[in-house]
């Protein structure tokens, strides 16, 4: 192949595209990124953390469908801006009641609530107006087929005929929902929680890799360029951290920082920088004696500028490959911590947490509740591994 006049980045991209397995991994990663960005816009359950618990439909199988009565909550819900709803979801406004039958009697609606066991089925009744509107306590009255009440949200008067509000209930508050991946043991939509779990996995990987790059490039570059006592101190610290098993180190840091969302990011990131530092140090040691580095010293450039402006950009290829592998490692570590109960805490949906909640159902024909997030973790880790291998081959100057 004639490579004359082609930039190294374009040449690497051409080599990468010739590897169909690595391209498939890249497609999986890009799809996961789109899903995580879409988040609440794609999830059927748009409440915060997709945490709408409907215990009557717990442990239903994938493809389960049911009719629901949306009963308006009387407490006013806090409004959120569009941007905040994209990142944190909506405040719940309705109580979702699964039903099998429904009929109207005067100003009330009588429903037979859904249950998978016939002996547990029972009837409930609601005021039709209270289903459709958030009503202030004690403000409701009905007379001659008409009702009057006061809104619990705005305080304004609400009135109308029973026929009109019954028609409104049938059109907007009687809905049918399908749960593509079924429901978990708390009656939450598994599909929605899988979508939001993608966000956590990618966020942990991205922030952990970012922390490892900052620390690894900084310390490895200093050790390789200045050598001497700086090299000895930094490499001693690297060897100490390297000697501790990664999972034990993550658990120790998590216990120090506490359980939570950002604590996991920091804990995972602080355990992955040592490999980056070792590679950067070795690369800098081999480059620091090149002619262009000597020329930069001669004209009086400061060491910091020489290191980060001229040396680091020329040794970044192996760091990029390591970052892909670290991304996969970070996803596995986060899943392991969540499974152990010391990672991201409920009700935030994480794939590791879903496995923890449902691994006991494998022996009672509900194994898919643990297998689905397990397969998602496997695919994500495999995708980053394949991309890392493809990048290694593409960036190899000996590749044809």
CB atoms closer than 10 angstroms to residue 172? 11
Residues 6+ apart with CB under 8 A from 241: 249, 271, 274
CATH homologous superfamily of 8-34+191-394 equals MetI-like (1.10.3720.10)
Question: What are the tokens at 356?
Answer: 């923890």
pLDDT at 5: 55
Q: Dump pLDDT digits (tens) for 32-44.
A: 999 999 989 999 9
Residue of 349, 255, 365 lying closest to 357 (CA atoms): 349
Rg over alpha carbons for the chain, rounded to the nearest Å, is 29
The pLDDT tens digits of the residues spanning 52-80 come to 999 999 999 999 999 999 999 887 666 67
Ranges of H-type helices in 42-127:
82-88
Q: How many residues does the chain have?
A: 400
Q: Where are the domains of the chain?
A: 8-34+191-394, 62-183
Residue 390 and residue 324 in contact, taking contact as beta carbons nearer than 8 Å:
no
Residue appearing with tokens 């190294």: 8
Phi, psi torsion values for 248, nearest 5 degrees: -65, -40
110-143 pLDDT, tens digit each: 999 998 887 777 899 999 998 998 888 888 888 8
Q: Please return the burial class of 196, using the count of CB atoms within 10 Å of its CB with bins 0-12, 13-18 and 19+.
A: buried
Q: What confidence tens digit (pLDDT) does each residue in 205-249 have?
A: 999 899 999 999 999 999 998 888 989 999 999 988 888 887 788
Reported for 263-267, long-range contacts at CB under 8 A and 24+ positions apart, including other chains, are: 264/204, 264/334, 264/337, 264/343, 264/344, 265/203, 265/204, 265/207, 265/208, 265/211, 266/211, 267/337
What pLDDT, on a 0 to 100 scale, did the predictor assign at position 27? Answer: 96
- Give 41: exposed, middle or buried? Use CB within 10 Å, 0-12, 13-18, 19+: exposed
CB neighbourhood size of 350 (10 A): 28
């Amino acid at each position: 192949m004639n490579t004359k006049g082609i930039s190294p980045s374009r040449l690497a991209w051409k080599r990468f595209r010739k590897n169909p397995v690595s391209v498939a991994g890249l497609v999986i990663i890009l799809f996961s990124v789109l899903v995580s960005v879409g988040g609440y816009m794609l999830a059927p359950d748009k409440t915060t953390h997709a945490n709408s618990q409907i215990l009557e439909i717990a442990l239903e199988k994938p493809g389960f469908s049911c009719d629901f009565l949306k009963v308006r909550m009387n407490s006013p819900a806090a409004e959120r801006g569009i941007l905040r709803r994209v990142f944190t979801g909506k405040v719940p406004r309705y109580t979702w009641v699964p039903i099998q039958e429904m009929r109207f009697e005067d100003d009330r609606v009588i429903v037979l609530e859904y249950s998978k066991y016939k002996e547990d089925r029972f009837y409930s009744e609601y005021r039709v107006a209270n289903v459709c509107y958030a009503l202030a306590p004690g403000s409701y009255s009905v007379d001659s087929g008409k009702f009057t009440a006061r809104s619990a949200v705005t305080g304004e008067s609400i009135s109308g005929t029973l026929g009109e509000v019954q028609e409104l209930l049938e059109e907007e508050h009687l809905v049918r929902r399908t749960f593509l991946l079924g429901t978990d043991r708390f009656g939450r939509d598994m599909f929605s929680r899988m979508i939001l779990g993608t966000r956590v996995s990618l966020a942990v990987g991205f922030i952990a890799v970012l922390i490892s790059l900052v620390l690894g490039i900084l310390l490895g570059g200093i050790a390789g360029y200045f050598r001497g006592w700086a090299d000895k101190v930094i490499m001693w610290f690297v060897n100490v951290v390297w000697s501790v098993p990664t999972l034990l180190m993550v658990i120790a840091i998590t216990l120090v920082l506490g359980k939570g969302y950002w604590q996991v990011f920091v804990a995972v990131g602080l355990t992955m920088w040592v490999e980056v530092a070792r590679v950067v140090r070795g690369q800098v040691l081999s480059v620091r004696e090149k002619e262009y580095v000597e020329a930069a010293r001669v004209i009086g450039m400061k060491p910091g500028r020489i290191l980060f402006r001229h040396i680091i950009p020329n040794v970044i290829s192996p760091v990029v490959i390591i970052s892909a592998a670290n991304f996969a490692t970070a996803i596995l570590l986060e899943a392991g911590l969540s499974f152990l109960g010391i990672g991201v805490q409920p009700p935030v949906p994480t794939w590791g947490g879903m496995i923890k909640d449902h691994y006991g159902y494998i022996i009672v024909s509900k194994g898919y509740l643990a297998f689905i997030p397990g397969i998602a973790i496997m695919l994500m880790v495999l995708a980053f591994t394949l991309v890392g291998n493809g990048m290694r081959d593409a960036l190899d100057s000996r590749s044809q």
